[in-house]
Amino acid sequence: MAKPVAKTLLQIIKVPTPGGTTDTAKLAAAAFALVAAILIFADAGAYAAEEKIKLKVAAQATSGQVFQYMAEDKGYLDDEGIEVEMVYINNGTDATSALSSGKVDVISTYSTGGPLIQIANGQKFSIFGGYMIIGATPVFARPETEYAGLESLVGKKIAIMRGGTPDIVLKGILFDAGYDVYKDVTFVEMKRNQDVLEAVRSGQADFGSVSTGFEVQINQSGMKVVMWPDELWPNHSCCRMLAKTDWMNNNPEALKKLLRAYIRAEKDMRSNMPRVVELVMAKLDMTREIAESFLLSPHILYEADPYKNSVVKMWEKMRGFGYLVDPAMDINDHINTAIYKSALDSLLAEYPDEPFYKDKLALFNEHNM
């Protein structure tokens, strides 16, 4: 609009020749000033129209957010017109509090069970995407401790962080095997993974289970991994992406853009994990040994897909061992698969021959119907 207006003004106000009158010259100068002002305001308006959508995404600094790092590295966030600020919070309770209060828009690496407990307690959160479907959460012990199977846990003390993936998944495994998780074993609740490590090392607990990224510390402390939970409960759902339900409903396009960028990042990760290792090392100031210990682990799988069926399965297990205060609540009301499906469909429309996106659609149909 600015340039046609400017042209019209210049046509109305004739620019004087070198011999023109002083009044005419002053009038022309004023006209030029007016045109310049119009152009400046027009450019400012165009800039405002192109301003990026800003999101705050929370993750744990012990393992980071690899979709974010790769999407940023590849320029996919810029392609989508979004700007993501990472907020590092290392405790699930603090992360859900930040989400509830609006300090962050999305949480992404804080298990599935912990947020489900929050939902059961009345928080209006919704799952709209995924992160890890299994997350390298080992059960470990001191070197002299014998482990021959789940029966070795009976009568023992197990250190965990309540509500985290290690807690929910290990209790789910014991529950399915017919054990009473409150009578047959004693769970010792800790606030931090470091406290879990110390409890086992010092003998306060016989076994422990920690979140992603602590295998190296287990070995350095002279302890040993005795069991990987994903071998007994495949696709158990480690970390899901959540937002406040009302915020999600008001910002579906922003989340669609975020998921488009993350799905594209996931595609690149599958063939370039060495680059992911480098990014995590740089972003988190982490050693290569620690980064590779979980990023390249066979017990971890990154999936942006919501995996609704796995979430519902975990919910039912948690109902079974008494973690839900409102057993009548329908968890399906707190799982949104439509935003992810829309993001995936749009990528398939742009890249109809890309095998990765075709495989993602088949996986979505398998795990969300």
3-state secondary structure of 161: strand
Tell me the H-state helices in 13-159: 22-49, 66-74, 76-80, 92-101, 113-120
pLDDT score, position 163:
87
pLDDT score, position 258:
98
**DSSP 8-state class, residue 335:** B
Instruction: Provide DSSP, 266-288.
Output: HHHHHH-HHHHHHHHHHHHT--H
| Cα 311 to Cα 242: distance, rounded to the nearest angstrom | 12
What's the average pLDDT block by block, 10 residues per block, for the chain (369 residues)?
42 43 47 45 45 96 96 98 96 93 97 94 96 96 98 98 92 96 96 95 97 94 97 96 98 98 98 97 97 96 98 94 84 98 98 98 97
Q: Which of 297, 236, 227, 228 is nearest to 66 (CA)?
A: 297
**DSSP 8-state class, residue 29:** H
Q: What dotted CATH number matches 139-227?
A: 3.40.190.10
pLDDT score, position 273:
97
Helices 252-271 and 338-350: angle between axes, nearest 10 degrees: 60
pLDDT score, position 35:
41
Task: Give counts: helices (H), strands (E), the chain.
Answer: 16, 12
pLDDT score, position 23:
52
The domain limits of the chain are 2-49, 53-135+236-367, 139-227
Query: How are the residues of the chain apportioned to helix, strand and coil, as percentages rounded to the nearest 5?
Result: 55, 15, 35
| Cα 342 to Cα 349: distance, rounded to the nearest angstrom | 10
Q: Which tokens sit at 188? A: 């010792």
E-strand ranges in the chain read 53-59, 82-88, 106-107, 125-130, 132-135, 139-141, 157-161, 186-190, 207-209, 224-227, 240-244, 300-302
CB of 219 closer than 8 Å to CB of 199: no
pLDDT score, position 25:
45
Q: Which CATH superfamily is domain 53-135+236-367 in?
A: Periplasmic binding protein-like II (3.40.190.10)
* CA separation, residue 308 to residues 9, 279, 338, 369 (Å): 61, 29, 11, 8
| Cα 175 to Cα 182: distance, rounded to the nearest angstrom | 10
One-letter amino acid of 245 = T
Domains 53-135+236-367 and 139-227 share a fold: yes
The count of C-alpha atoms lying within 13 angstroms of the C-alpha of 40, restricted to the half-sphere facing its C-beta, is 6
